[in-house]
Structure 1
Amino acid sequence: MKSHASTLLAEVRTFRQNHPDVRYVDLIALDIPGHFYGKRYPIEMLERVAAGSPLKLPQNAVLLGAQGGLFKIGDYCFNDGDPDANRRLVPGTLKPVSWESQPLGQMLMTSDGTDAPIEFEPREVLAKVLERLQHKGIHPVVAFELEFYLFDKTLDNGLPQFARDPLSGDADDQPNLHIERLSRFNGVLDDMAQTAKDQGIDITVITAELGPGQFEINFGHLDDGLRAADWAALFCRSTRGVALKQGYRASFMAKPYLQFPGSGMHVHVSLYDGAGNNVLAAHQQQPLRHAVAGCLELLPHCMPIFSPNHNAFRRLGGTVNAATRASWGFEDRDACVRIPESDPRNLRVEHRLASADANPYLVLAAILVGLEHGLEAKREPIAPLNEDRSSGSDFPLEMLEAVRAMQHQAVLRDKLGAEFVDVYCENKRQDHLAFQQEINAREYRWFL
């Protein structure tokens, strides 16, 4: 503990030396819907926290709905006195913020690793899954890929407008994969990539995607699943900030346009044993088949995680590379679980179903639980799409059905934690019902 505090204190003091103009640091953590909450600390107070002073925030901040409101979930929020819970600083995450109007820093905090972790905190849920796998001698290597849209900064009666081509000034309304779009939007994309690198994120490939103003940025592979999910969360925050600074809006909304492809969160996962051998590649790849079967079995029960809101369900089906059934295949982007071509050392699964606005900690936790369950159950998967284009099993396509499918699933309750599953499902149910409590213009057109 003393060594841990010394490391944090050295990190804060080095940051102050390198950034003497920074007076405040945002201490942030991800809540259940995938939004950052936290507090802005004076840099002097942060140094005291790093030295061992308590860091406490309301426990129920994790339970905030998509619009920031609190829902009654069991005794939480309204019958528990709204207690504080200990947090700790995440080493290595203190970085400068370059997209704000004033010099600022930010640093991740979490309840995992404290004396009383919050059972339903997303980072703690993933930490417990990774710890259990480690005890079994399984070590994941993970890489995220995130798609997002750029929009014009100004909304039109609340609706998004196509991003303007910086060279021509025209709307980027031609969906394509042309490399020239990377050149035309190079200024904002380069700023996004450099800012992410300044946050410690290993940015690799940048792609102009099919939708107008749509791009994808990939991250490097990491043998630390928590840090991989940290990268995905921090990237979303910095990308939105940079876009506003550059005169755009960036959004990871799953389906901003009905007529164009949605934005997904693709997660590549390999599994290695203590000796560095790829677990999935052993015995003529039989463990790979078992892992795939486990993922597909649990996938219908994880839909509230993979599609965390009403809009995310709009992304499923009807457009390019978005499945409506649980399926798998080799080098097949129509599959939920794709097996990219690779050598045995790098054999991995690519889970493609989650929307870009899903919570990266929970998405990775759900995927790992599926792989773990498959390796334990040792069942054969259904036929891959390469052999049967109609292969696949149904999964829920609306939130309330999805919540019912998740809440009582025994494997998820065991491996993600029953308390988390109950809290998460009720949060999603309440958010969905709150979303319905508004009459929109279409409803008046149809029924007035």
Structure 2
Amino acid sequence: MPAPSLDWLRTHPEVRTIRAAACDLNGVPRGKRVPSRYAEKVVTEGTRFPMSALNLDIWGEDIDDSPLVFETGDRDGVLRPTDRGFVPMPWLEAPSALLPIWMYHEDGRPFDGDPRHALASVAQRYRARGLTPVVAVELEFFLIDDSTRTLQVPVSPRSGKRRKAAEILSIRALDAFDQFFTELYEACEAMDIPADTAISEAGLGQFEINLVHTDNVLRAADDAWLFKWLVKGLARRHGFAASFMAKPYEDYSGSGMHAHFSVLDAAGQNIFDDGGARGTAALHHAIAGCLRAMHDSTLIFAPHLNSYDRLVPEAHAPSGISWAYENRTVAIRVPAGAPAARRIEHRVAGGDVNPYLALAAMLGAALTGIEDEIAPPEPVTGNAYALDLPRIPTEWGDAIDAFEKSDLMKRIFPDMLIRNMVLTKRQEKLYMGELTQPEQTEIYLDTV
């Protein structure tokens, strides 16, 4: 991969420092602060830090029994820039730039524990079949006043009031934080994140912003990862928190990361489009693949203890494994609309996911269905919560076990990543069990 250009830095002489950062298994940025005068070395030669740094727990601690630590001498990986290049960091006071990086072995092989490489591998499998996924994500998040132990909606800078109610599709709720959203869109423009529609959602102080679809799945995940980082950082500049935590409020809906995807053939035609509402056999194979893998991949879509508070019936998140046309009570929805835009909406993932792993799991599962030409069950109608359906795991430990033992997951993720994920989540489960609910919330609020 060619090194990104240094031209951006040359045209932004006010930028005195850069952050060279990679995404760990939890989606947390890990990396280094570097004076901009030394940026050329990072661009041309890369940088180094331990492979174990991409496999830390949610507190940023080593995994106790990880072979990446003492067993192998805690050896370094080589981290090279992605093709994203430099992007500004508008949430910081001092002008700064971010250089996204990902990890390789000394001999140039991709490091299998890097989430971005996991998604790249899935994308390569599509390319080998002459196929290209087209992906868009919807990201839900909460604006929260966390200045006391009781979480609540921030005071509106416009009215000076605290609106203690959920307001679905409320323009007033958006306008209450007009300056924040104005700056957020300006920052997305500066960072080249394709932010589209914003709406208020069903949770307390909850909002959703859609990112425009792209045929570059790595770019889609990059955008989601950077967007989460931006929203959280910008909110702090405004004196409150923004959180993608799955379920900060017991009595309100949680936050998801819904993903829409179709698949193009070599001629640029949507292989899900049959000219009508039903869709093609390829669409049904992809749906069947997603459903077949859903139980075993739940750990990717619900990676934290708090994630399972969201996946309950009648809380605007799926709890059963099913699909339907134009129905938001199911796990896999086929939206209505023009046949040329026929696509799958995968509705299981929480806002707290690692976007690279989530898209790898979704697209990888769909591809296994296409490869195996399996058929899905009949689509459901009506309220899926009221039906007797196979269930998504409701316990963190069950999801960890299912992910570890799954043969399907081995078709999607490398063995090293599966092992690292399982070790990480077992360690987190152990230590989360020692914390009170407020202590658990405090760690998840900012990190995920």
Fold-level similarity (TM above 0.5): yes
- CA offset digits 1:119-143 (Å, max 9, x no partner): 1110011111111111111100000
Match runs of 1:31-430 below 5 Å? 31-50=24-43, 52-111=44-103, 115-152=108-145, 154-157=146-149, 159-177=150-168, 178-282=170-274, 285-386=280-381, 389=384, 390=387, 392-430=389-427
Closer/same/farther in 2, CA of residues 80 and 116 from structure 1, 3 Å limit: same
- CA offset digits 1:36-93 (Å, max 9, x no partner): 111011112111232x224212111001100111113442212211111011112333
Check conservation: 1:72, 1:78, Cα contact below 8 A.
no
Bigger mean CA offset, 274-283 vs 234-243: 274-283
The 2-side partners of 1:251 and 1:267 are apart by: 19
Closer/same/farther in 2, CA of residues 380 and 391 from structure 1, 3 Å limit: farther
**Aligned partner letter, 2:202:** L
Question: CA offset at residue 282 of structure 1?
Answer: 4.7
Cα RMSD after superposing both structures: 1.9
Question: CA offset at residue 211 of structure 1?
Answer: 1.6
Closer/same/farther in 2, CA of residues 337 and 73 from structure 1, 3 Å limit: farther
3-state DSSP of counterpart to 1:326? coil
Structure 2 residue aligned with 1:437: 434
Question: CA offset at residue 439 of structure 1?
Answer: 5.3
Check conservation: 1:149, 1:251, Cα contact below 8 A.
yes
TM-score, with length taken from structure 1: 0.92
Check conservation: 2:324, 2:334, Cα contact below 8 A.
yes
Check conservation: 1:155, 1:161, Cα contact below 8 A.
no
Check conservation: 2:51, 2:68, Cα contact below 8 A.
no
3-state DSSP of counterpart to 1:78? helix
Check conservation: 2:245, 2:351, Cα contact below 8 A.
yes
3-state DSSP of counterpart to 1:341? coil
Question: CA offset at residue 109 of structure 1?
Answer: 0.4
Check conservation: 2:270, 2:341, Cα contact below 8 A.
yes
- How many residue pairs were aligned? 432
Question: CA offset at residue 436 of structure 1?
Answer: 0.8
3-state DSSP of counterpart to 1:393? coil
- CA offset digits 1:198-223 (Å, max 9, x no partner): 11111111001112211000000011
**Aligned partner letter, 1:433:** L
Identity among equivalent pairs (%): 32
TM-score, with length taken from structure 2: 0.92
The 1-side partners of 2:438 and 2:21 are apart by: 37
Check conservation: 2:9, 2:86, Cα contact below 8 A.
no
1:27 matches 2:20: yes
Closer/same/farther in 2, CA of residues 181 and 412 from structure 1, 3 Å limit: same
Structure 1 residue aligned with 2:444: none
- Runs of 5+ in structure 2 lacking a partner? 440-448
Question: CA offset at residue 21 of structure 1?
Answer: 1.5
- CA offset digits 1:384-409 (Å, max 9, x no partner): 22278426322211111111111121
- CA offset digits 1:323-376 (Å, max 9, x no partner): 211111111111111111122221110111100010000000000111011112
The 2-side partners of 1:73 and 1:93 are apart by: 35
The 2-side partners of 1:222 and 1:391 are apart by: 36
The 1-side partners of 2:206 and 2:163 are apart by: 10
3-state DSSP of counterpart to 1:320? coil
